[in-house]
């Protein structure tokens, strides 16, 4: 999904956020992923609480937070045809949601039909190990890296 250069706001669904038509990049100036169990659990609780709320059932919408991006030029990019967005704010939440989607696809065994439209579209400019770990979580690949192995044992 291409969003023109502007200061416009756009509300995205989870399907739109994890679309194959868009790619998000965490630039070098962003801090490392720092959310711990407390922040992750709070996000999961918020989503679960919202799913049970009468107003959610009526409207089917829940605001997860903001993601501020800058549209990058994708000329020469490996992501042909995808809009590329540089993440300015919201990378902790977006990374956590990416991990949760990987968990739902792999561990919780949600049916493929439910999650086939969700694609890993998050990358890191200067952290190839982080990008590889996230990719392996999504692809259900295994690594001998002890840090990556510990990620697989997170008590989600």
What are the tens digits of pLDDT across the range 37-57? 999 999 999 999 988 888 877
Write the burial class of residue 137 (CB in 10 Å: 0-12 exposed, 13-18 middle, 19+ buried).
buried
- Looking at every residue in the chain, the average pLDDT score rounds to 80
115 near 101, Cβ under 8 Å? yes
Scanning 1-140, the segments in alpha helix (DSSP H) are 14-17, 37-52, 54-59, 91-106, 112-115, 128-139
Q: Does the pLDDT at position 35 exceed 90? A: yes
Quickly state the pLDDT bin for 156 (edges 50, 70, 90).
very low
Alpha-carbon distance of 141 to 133, in angstroms, equals 9
* Residue (of 48, 43, 147) closest to 92 by Cα position: 43
Quickly state the pLDDT bin for 23 (edges 50, 70, 90).
very high
Q: Does the pLDDT at position 101 exceed 50? A: yes
Instruction: For the chain, give every domain's residue range.
Output: 14-152
Quickly state the pLDDT bin for 102 (edges 50, 70, 90).
confident
Alpha-carbon distance of 46 to 62, in angstroms, equals 10
Residue 90, pLDDT score: 94
Q: Does the pLDDT at position 31 exceed 70? A: yes
Range 136-143 contact pairs with CB under 8 angstroms and sequence separation of 24 or more: 137/99, 137/102, 137/103, 137/106, 138/98, 138/101, 138/102, 138/105, 140/105, 140/106
What are the tens digits of pLDDT across the range 42-96? 999 999 998 888 887 778 788 889 999 998 887 766 666 788 999 999 999 999 9
Alpha-carbon distance of 133 to 114, in angstroms, equals 23
| Other C-beta atoms lying within 10 Å of the C-beta of residue 132 | 15
Q: Does the pLDDT at position 24 exceed 90? A: yes
């Amino acid at each position: 999904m291409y969003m023109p250069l502007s200061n416009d706001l756009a509300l995205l669904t989870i399907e739109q956020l994890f679309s194959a038509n868009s790619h998000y990049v965490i630039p070098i100036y962003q801090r490392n992923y720092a959310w711990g169990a407390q922040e992750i659990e709070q996000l999961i609780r918020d989503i679960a609480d919202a799913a049970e709320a009468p107003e959610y059932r009526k409207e089917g919408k829940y605001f997860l937070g903001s993601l501020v991006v800058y549209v990058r030029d994708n000329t020469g990019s490996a992501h042909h045809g995808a809009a590329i967005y540089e993440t300015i704010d919201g990378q902790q939440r977006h990374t956590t949601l990416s991990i949760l989607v990987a968990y739902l696809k792999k561990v919780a065994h949600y049916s493929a039909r439910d999650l086939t439209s969700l694609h890993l579209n998050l990358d890191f400019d200067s952290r190839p190990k982080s990008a590889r770990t996230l990719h392996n979580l999504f692809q259900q690949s295994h690594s001998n890296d002890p840090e990556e192995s510990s990620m697989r044992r997170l008590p989600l």
